[in-house]
Structure 1
């Protein structure tokens, strides 16, 4: 679908590519690192469907990017968030330069070279 030129001119490359639900949540919580929110509050603020937010939050917690107590969620340790963001940027940069890797090709290659 074509994009109007105003949207093209006014948004960054990152904004035009779109963010994943996880990226939306981490950015929101990092921008509001002095507060904790319920999942319904997060969903309303970041435009993520409530029924998918629980999975997103759990996966982010497994990676130490968010933390929670009771019904409330907050950003995790900022150093962990920074390292994850830096890695994400590096991978994006490498994908732009060399193309994205194909996971199926990697698996096939690994299976061919597996010791017998």
Structure 2
């Protein structure tokens, strides 16, 4: 879905793609579903089916933003408060998909409030 040029100008230089199905979203969801565990990269690959050549850069970008952390060869979900919200949101979407399998989440999101829309706060 396109965004307005003004919104484009406000995006950070290194925007992280967390849209549904992106590698970053898949890895973050996997780690948020296992908050009490730490994984090696090959275990994350097996658990997510993200390609081996992509996993390192994805984990590095997530770590730059504090969304994941690692020690040695192990990676786990970060400790940021935003992640609790992300994990809850991921669980909500999973529950919604289970309860309403015939609904198209994309159609729902088309009608969701756009945080970049200047008029959304006025309504």
The TM-score by the shorter chain falls in which range? 0.5 to 0.7
Structure index of larger Rg: 1
CA deviation after TM superposition for structure 1 residue 96, in Å: 1.8
RMSD over aligned Cα atoms: 3.5
- Larger % of helix: which? 1
Residues 56-108 of structure 1 show CA distances to partners (whole Å, capped at 9, x for unaligned) of 0000001111000000000001513245679xxxxx89x72488x9xxxxxxx
Q: Provide the C-alpha distance between the structure 1 equivalents of 2:73 and 2:43, rounded to a whole number of angstroms.
A: 11
Residue aligning to 2:58: 56
Shift of 1:52: 0.4
Count of equivalent residues: 82
Q: Which residue pairs with 1:34 in the alignment?
A: 36
| TM-score, normalising length: structure 1 | 0.57
In structure 2, the CA distance between the partners of 1:78 and 1:31, relative to structure 1 (3 Å rule), is: farther
Segments of 4+ in structure 1 off by > 6 A? none
Work out the CA distance in 1 between the residues paired with 2:44 and 2:50.
Answer: 8
| Residue number in structure 2 paired with 1:45 | 47
